[in-house]
Amino acid sequence: MRLTSLSNVLITGVDGMVGSYVDFGIKTNHHSLDITNLSETMAVIGKYKPEVIIHLAAETDVDRCEREPERAYMVNSTGTLNVANAAKKIGAKVVYVSTVYVFDGSKHGAYLESDLPCPSNHYGRSKYFGELIIKGILDDYLIARAGWVFGGGPEKDRKFVAKIIKQLQQDEVKVVDDKLGSLTYAKDLVDKIKTMIVEGKSGLVHVANAGFCSRYDVAIEIKKIMNSHSILTPVDSSYFNLDASRSDSDIMESLTGGIVRPWQEALSAYIATEWI
Ligand SMILES: NC(=O)c1ccc[n+]([C@@H]2O[C@H](COP(=O)([O-])OP(=O)(O)OC[C@H]3O[C@@H](n4cnc5c(N)ncnc54)[C@H](OP(=O)(O)O)[C@@H]3O)[C@@H](O)[C@H]2O)c1
């Protein structure tokens, strides 16, 4: 189904990093729509009767998900079940934003939509259950998997890119160089979702900026853009003692048209417009 207007699109979890680029529709946040509360979810979605729901709300702290798995499954799996049931009742399409963490990173080469997921941590597993719920319950859905997401600017960016930007004021910054992935600029993700909704696209799509990189490569690029004199020292991932295991490879490619502008271009635009 093609959409002519985005005004009848409801968004969950709009106060987050990705939601900060949503400039349309019926915006809901944790306060106005707690997706873990079934009756509230049914009531809010039943009240607005959107044609499409962009489901962003999630517990996205990968290490917290590992420490508190019941929370991860409650928000990312049960919460998605509630959204899917509410959507089914009113006949709405759901666009579910998922993650490359549904894969375990053991593939040599990029992950395609045709690859079978096999998550290796609770965050990835809880999001994959969300995907299965969406596919199992709804006839019309779009699952958009993102890579290493960056965006949100100084206010909303709590992830890797913001950390590096802030640390570049120090003399030396240690950065992991033994994991590869695809970046997804949250603004490009929202723009792509908008286009796909208008076109009536359904199914599964990997949305990422073209190319792949290590976090060290990203830091080098940020240092260049910010004209910083800080020294970047590559370290392997065991240097940081994280709770959740991370994949060796989070590289994504798309067979279904999800690749957007190169990551260097997107990163440069992000820093120039939101940080400098
Ligand atoms: N960030 C990434 O690297 C990444 C990568 C791939 C895919 N994704 C997916 O992209 C989507 C958006 O992520 P994001 O980066 O924007 O994450 P984010 O910045 O953590 O935002 C998530 C939002 O969900 C809200 N939320 C949490 N629990 C909720 C609940 N029970 N009911 C309603 N809202 C709730 C949070 O509100 P509070 O803060 O008030 O709790 C927050 O505003 C998520 O589905 C995520 O899994 C993210």
* Residue 220 included in any domain: no
pLDDT category of residue 276 using cuts at 50, 70 and 90: confident
User: How many domains, in total, are found in the chain?
Assistant: 1
> Going by DSSP bridges, is the β-strand pair 183-185/141-146 parallel, antiparallel, or unpaired?
unpaired
Q: Is the CB of 40 under 6 A from ligand 1?
A: no
Q: Alpha helix locations (H) across 200-240?
A: 215-226
| CATH code where residue 36 lies | 3.40.50.720
Ligand 1 binding pocket mutation candidate from 56, 133, 252 (most atoms within 8 A of CB): 56
Picking from 67, 115, 152, 31, the residue whose alpha carbon sits closest to that of residue 163 is: 152
Distance 223 CA to ligand 1 centre (A): 28
Q: Is the CB of 266 under 6 A from ligand 1?
A: no
Q: Answer whether residue 1 shows pLDDT above 80.
A: no
Going by C-beta distance under 8 Å and a sequence separation of 6 or more, which residues neighbour residue 38? 82, 85
How many CA within 13 A on the CB side of residue 203? 12
Distance 60 CA to ligand 1 centre (A): 5
Q: Is the CB of 146 under 6 A from ligand 1?
A: yes
Q: What mean pLDDT comes out for the span 127-135?
A: 98
Q: How would DSSP label each residue in 52-94?
A: EEEE------HHHHHH-HHHHIIIIIIHHHHHHHHHHHHT-EE
- 211, 264 contact by CB (below 8 A): yes
Does the CA dihedral 69-78-247-30 come out positive or negative? Answer: negative
- Token pair in block for residue 213: 């990189």
* Residue 151 included in any domain: yes
Q: Answer whether residue 80 shows pLDDT above 80.
A: yes
Domain encompassing residue 134: 9-156+181-210+251-260
Atom of ligand 1 nearest to the CA of 57: 24
pLDDT category of residue 245 using cuts at 50, 70 and 90: confident
* Residue 244 included in any domain: no
Q: Answer whether residue 247 shows pLDDT above 80.
A: no
Atom of ligand 1 nearest to the CA of 75: 31
Q: Alpha helix locations (H) across the chain?
A: 38-48, 62-67, 69-72, 79-90, 122-137, 153-156, 160-167, 186-199, 215-226, 263-274
Interval 52-78: pLDDT, tens: 999 999 999 999 999 999 999 999 999
Q: Is the CB of 54 under 6 A from ligand 1?
A: no
Q: What angle do CA 173, 179, 182 make, to 5 degrees?
A: 100
pLDDT at 239: 82
What burial letters (b/e) apply to 194-220, b meaning 16+ CB within 10 Å?
Answer: bebbeeebbebbbbbbbbbbbbbbbbb
* Residue 134 included in any domain: yes
Cα 265 to Cα 35, 138, 188, 246: the distances in Å are 35, 36, 11, 26
Beta bridge partners of 118: none
Ligand 1 binding pocket mutation candidate from 60, 75, 131, 163 (most atoms within 8 A of CB): 60
* Residue 40 included in any domain: yes
- Token pair in block for residue 114: 């045709």
* Residue 49 included in any domain: yes
Q: Is the CB of 38 under 6 A from ligand 1?
A: no
* Residue 162 included in any domain: no
pLDDT at 187: 98
Q: Is the CB of 36 under 6 A from ligand 1?
A: yes
